Every structure is written in structure tokens, then in C-alpha cells.
Amino acid sequence: MQFGLLFYQTALWLGFHIDGKTFTIAPMLEDQANFKLIEIPNPSSRFIMLEEVQLSPNDLKIISNNNNSITPSSSEQQQQKFEILLQHFNEYYKQHEQEFMNCLIDIWEQDHCSNTTLSFSEILHKFLPLSPHNEHYSELDKAIRKFVLYCCINSLSNYEKIKHKEITFRLVSADELLENRLKMKFKHQMELFSKEVFHVELNDEESIILKTRLLDCLIFQSHSIYWNDICKYPSKAKSLEARIRKWLDLLGTKLSFPEALILKSNVFPKHLVPTLIKCILNQIDKKVLHTMMEDQSQFLEYKDLVKNWDINTSSWKFYDNVITIDSEGTMDIDDAISIESYETNSMRVAIHITNVAHFFYSYLGNNSLQDMLKDPIFKEAARKVTSYYDSLPRSSVLFRNPDELDQDARHLTVFPMLYPSLSENILSLKTGKRLTMTYEFEFNDFDSQPKLLGIYPSCVNIIENTTYEQAEALFEKDEKWNKLFSYCRALYERRIQNGAPSFENRKCLTPEPSNNTTARLSISERRGLKSSLVISESAVLIGSIVGEYFKAHNIPGITRNFDSRKKISLTSVCNKDTPSPYLQQTSPVRRFIDLLNQLQLYLFLTQQTMLSVKQLEEHCDRIESESTKAQEVEDHIIMYWFLCYLWEHYGPSSSKSSTVDERNCKALKGTVGRFVSAFTKIILNDEQFCSFSIHCANLHYLLGGKYCVEGLPINFVIESIDWELLTVSIRVVEEGEQHEQL
């Protein structure tokens, strides 16, 4: 049932719609004594629906108690009340009749629909100089509500009232009215786009709203409230992110391939998404978003607790002269190292991991496991599972570079599992006093495994945050640090002999994008450094020895078993029956699996109730799926920037949508790799491209299938790139041939 105003027989009436018919009750500006229900089967007049009318419980009781029409006497009483309540409005209206009529006529002339719909608020606020505090507004509001009550009592018995246990009726609110109009316009616009008609028929405000909803669909996907309305429209694009990028582009907002992948991964906390979308649409500065992400105000109490930690009264062990070694520009520092004693044939080393478990259990959970599990920060970490590290140009809205970093120090943007205020500050092992979990080892000889001396909650004093390159001088000049390298080198060689993959001297290719379509490539040889080997072997050592510790003490933990043949990982809960489990624990601010394992260890050491096997199993599937997704996003973004580089330096000098033209291209050398599904891998030369593999869509066809064998060297030029699938089409050339395009 819809209530509202309408013109009928040259007068303004209060009326309502029910079952597709229009009923009126007396002209508002004429003799109210004559008002009665009049049925207008097919009204040609305009009908203005009023805002939703909320009847009181007493009003509804009156309606439900009247199974038949009310008596004439009570009807007359109701009529008299209604007339009195309308009197003030009628008097006011007569003084402004022409102005009011002109406003309504203007609205109707602008609308070609059979029924114009305006809310009660719109009429009062836009077309009458009435505020909600005006006495006439209040009286009119009461009159409308009494009118609704009158209509219900006098009419519902004629429309199957007895069949309904509850009487439900509603009016169109101003917000719903606007929403219905927008849906109709957006439906028409999206139908045009799906038909490859790229004319935009929305005004600026409507365009912003549609773009906001498109981004909401990209971020939340099927969980978006706009998903069914927007994403049902067909498109030539093969993926969701490609479709939405295309639609946004048509509406005037460009979103790069990496940005779309990151947004699709839903890496931002839900409460920040509205701000994020406003940044993308250039409605606010991106610094607003990043400032909100880095806000530490809610954690200042914990920060003070760590700062004022009394090492003299605490039962926790204290370690001084501790350093961290990490990549340049790293803010989320989660591991540190110190040499506690050194002799000719032995040394004692302590590896310190930031104590995220203490923050979650003792601070957020207030020493209650159930309270910790309910905490929004813990739930957000469980949802995201891992931090994302992706390359973006500095011009990107999503690019975040903390103010304390040199602008050239960092080429990756981190989308952290925990809030940056935690992962990059309060829980990061920056210089000063920090809380950690410490693993002490004793190295005695090069042929045996180090001995685990103990695992302790601890407080450490970080004296320096250094990089791999800076720490190299320490390993070269300091005898005890060089000896530690020798011990770790022996560990590494034994692992290689036992079948572990070797990463020694393997160069790493890192893209450094300058805009959305251009990137240069940086080659890092960090893995060949002594400092890098020591840190990586320390992490492996903790994973293997602590796995044995969990098994020996029957501590439930989560292990990942890597299948190198299929290149997948299986996440499962380990127990005393698990053979030699490997447990990740060294990056609790970056990986949820590490956080859970550290939490179990912390609860065991502090003699608290641990998470059960069932509670851990609840997280296994998501850890596996989200970790895989994060790796795929990173791989796709790196591939995108690499193809941007190849297109700029080895492809035709034209736009990405072009194929081969009359210009020359440089030839590339590579080796045929595996045929996977619809493409064949081409492994580029090691010296220039670090054996990076690209995916070729037509090589299998060019070489006749059976001749496309792994290891076959080829020379080729790039003819085109599919920027959605990230595959190349090539032309094979003979070595020494003039590489002119066809």
C-alpha cells in the first residue's frame, strides 16, 4: 500500500494505491466534511508517494481489532480529528498555493513517467519553506499519520484483510525512492555497455555512485550487495577484474591491472573500504587512507607497556646487543639475532622472533583465549591469512611509502595482514626495547645439528636495524659472525645433499614500475650474500627443530607440506604421530600460520590452555587457499610488469592494443619449457633475465606440436600480448635474420 498526494478533478487530494488501484479521500483544500473513499480505476493524474509512515503499536492494534469497517460514529470521530489536524496545513497552503502548484507542475513536466514519486520529506523540504521544527510541519506530519490510520480502518476489510494474519504496508522513503531511480538508470547504462555502446548517459553524481558500486563488486565480489544488479551483464572480458576495469574506464576512471588484482584480493579492512574507494575516485587524498591505516592511537597502552617493561622484576629473559638484518626499506621486521657466547669450537646463538602471541593473548584477549578469538584484529588476520608484497608505481593510489623511509628505498607496497600500526611499528623489531620469543641454539661442530638450549618469552634491546648489504661487512671482518656463517653454510650443504632445492647465487628479478604501463627491471644478487644465508638457514633451523619440540610435547600446530612436483602445499594439523613436522614460526606479523604456531608455543610455555586440534583445523583450508591466492597475485603482477618491459623494449613501438606493424623489433633468445594447458613456457636467458619464464600462446602451433620439446633453443620476436591472460604471441626467427615485421 502506498500513500501520497495526487491531483484529481483540479484539486489536490490525499490518496493511496492498493492492488494497482487508486483510492482518494476528500480534496485536501475543499470541504473536509465531504471526504469519503472514492475508487479511481485508472487514474491519469500524477501520484506523489509519501515517505514511509510509521504507525504506533496502538494504531496497529486499532487496525487489527477492526475485522470489518468501523462504525459510522467512530468513522465520523476519526474524520473530525483528521479535519482539525489538516486545518493548519490548509491555511498555510492557501497562502502559498501558487508557489506549491508551480513546483509540482515543474516536477511533473520534467518526468515522463505515468506516476511521479516524491517522498514526504522532499515535498516539505524542497517545495515548502518548512523545517522539521516548524509547527506546521509537525501538524502535517500528524495529519498524514492519522490519514493512513483512517484509510487502513476503512478500506482493508474490502481487500482480503481476513486472509492475512498481519497487515503489512509500506511507503516509499526518500532513500529508497532515489535508489529505485538509480537502479533504473544504471540498468540502462550497463545494458548499453554490454552491447558495446560506449555512450555515458549519467550525470557526474550518478557516475560516481555507479563507479563506487563497481569497485564494491570488485572488492567484495559475490558478497557485495550490488553483485546481482551489476555483474550479470555480459562482456567480452574474460575475468571479473577485466570487466570492471573496462566499465570504469568508460566512466572515466582508469584502474591498472595490478591495482585491480590487489583490490580483488580484498586486502583492506572492511571499515576502510569506503575511504579506499573515495581515494580511487579522487574524492579525497590517498594520505587520508594511509594515515587511517597507520593510526596507533588504540594501541598506545601496549606501546607504553613494552617501553616500560621492567627487566629486573620480570621473569622473562633479557638479551642485549641484538641486531636485525633485512631488505632495504623493510618496515615489518619480525626476526633478530644475537651471538651470546663464542669459543673456538662452539658458540651460543639466540634467534628472536617478535612476540605477536603476547600481544594477542595477554593484551587484546586479556588472558582469555575466547576473548582473543572474538577480537576484530584477530578475525581480520584470520581472514587475510598473509601480507601481500606487490610492485606498484608511486603514482598509484594504493602505493604506500611510510614518511620515515627514503623515497627510493622501497619498490614494494605492503598490504599487511595486521594493521601497519602493529606490523610496522608496535610489533616490528625496530631499535629499542621489544618483546620476543627467543630460540637459543648451541653450535659445536660442522657435522651435527645445533642443539636447542631453550625457548623463552623474552625482552630484547635492538641496537641496530641493518640491511643484508650493510651486514656483509660484519660477516667479513668480525671473526665470530664469520664463524656463524660457516656453521650455517654447513647446515645448508647438508640440506642440499638431502635433496632440498638450492637457491645459492640465484639472481632475483624485481620490477620497478614508473607508471601503469612502464617498468624497469632490477636484478638482485642478495641470495649470494653471507648475511642472507645466515638469516634463511636460521628460519629453516627454527622450523625443523621447533617441529620436533611440538611433537615431543604433544603441542598441536599447523604444518605445510610442500609437493615440489605439483608445486602446491597442503596445510594440516600436526600431532605426536606426524613424522618430523616443519612448523613456520618466524614471521608472525606476516603469516597467520606462523602466528597460530607461535600462539600455541606461547600458551604452552606460559602454561595456558592451548587451541584444540579442531580449532586449528578450522583455519587450514583458508590458510591454504589464501596463501595460494596471494602467491598467484604476486606472480601475475610481476609477469605484468615484465611484459610491460618487454613490450616497451622488444615489441612494436605502438599501443598495447596494436599488433605487429611495419616497424622492427629486437629478437629475444630463449629455451622452450613445459607445455601447460593453452600455453608453452619460454625460459629467457639467465644473464639478462635471470631465467624468467613467459607464457606463449602460439608456440605449440608454430612448432607443430610434437616438435615443441623442452630444452629446444629458439630466437623469436614478440608480435602481440594478451594483457588479460598475460600471454605473448611470437614469431620464430632464424639466428642472424633481419627481424623485420611482416
Q: Output DSSP code: residue 364.
A: I
Instruction: Measure the CA–CA gap between 655 and 659, rounded to whole angstroms.
Output: 9
Please say whether the beta carbons of 49 and 5 come within 8 A: no
Type of residue at 99: E
pLDDT the model gives residue 711? 87
Burial pattern 664-686, b for ≥16 Cβ within 10 A else e, equals ebebbebbbbebeeebbbbbbee
pLDDT at 103 over 60: no
Q: What is the mean pLDDT of residues 430-444?
A: 95
Instruction: Measure the CA–CA gap between 2 and 53, rounded to whole angstroms.
Output: 10
More confident site: 400 or 108: 400
pLDDT the model gives residue 11? 54
Q: How far is CA 140 from CA 52, 62, 96, 124, 367, in A?
A: 14, 21, 15, 10, 57
pLDDT the model gives residue 378? 96
The helix/strand/coil state of 488 is helix
Give the cell for residue 397.
593510489
Q: Which of 172-176, 324-328, 443-447, 480-484 has the lowest mean pLDDT?
A: 172-176
Instruction: Measure the CA–CA gap between 122 and 139, rounded to whole angstroms.
Output: 17
Q: What is the mean pLDDT of residues 563-584?
A: 61
Domains and CATH numbers, the chain: 2-172 (no CATH), 176-293 (no CATH), 297-624 (no CATH), 651-733 (2.40.50)
Give the cell for residue 44.
491519469
pLDDT the model gives residue 709? 77
pLDDT at 496 over 90: no
Q: Which of 206-210, 595-599, 652-656 has the lowest mean pLDDT?
A: 652-656
pLDDT at 134 over 80: no
pLDDT class for 688, splitting at 50, 70, 90? confident
Please, which residues have CB within 8 angstroms of residue 119's CB and are 6 or more apart in sequence? 49, 50, 51, 172, 173, 174, 177
pLDDT the model gives residue 739? 42
pLDDT tens by residue, 56-100 = 445 444 444 443 333 334 445 544 544 544 454 455 455 555 555
Give the containing element (helix H, strand E) for 645.
helix 613-650
pLDDT class for 710, splitting at 50, 70, 90? confident
pLDDT tens by residue, 377-407 = 999 999 999 999 998 888 888 988 755 455 5
Mean pLDDT over each residue of the chain, to the nearest integer: 77
pLDDT at 569 over 70: no
Please say whether the beta carbons of 633 and 261 come within 8 A: yes
Angle of helix 72-95 versus helix 135-155 axis, rounded to 10: 150
Q: Which of 371-385, 543-557, 684-698 has the highest mean pLDDT?
A: 371-385
Neighbour-count burial of 66, counting CB atoms closer than 10 A to its CB (0-12 exposed, 13-18 middle, 19+ buried): middle
pLDDT at 49 over 50: no
Instruction: Measure the CA–CA gap between 32 and 150, rounded to whole angstroms.
Output: 14
Q: What is the mean pLDDT of residues 456-484?
A: 93
pLDDT the model gives residue 435? 96
Q: What is the mean pLDDT of residues 576-594?
A: 85
Considering only CA atoms, give the Rg of the chain.
Answer: 35
The DSSP bridge partners found for residue 49 are 4
Q: What is the mean pLDDT of residues 135-154?
A: 51
Please say whether the beta carbons of 444 and 345 come within 8 A: yes
Q: What is the mean pLDDT of residues 162-191?
A: 60
pLDDT at 27 over 70: no
2 closest CA partner among 23, 27, 26, 25? 23
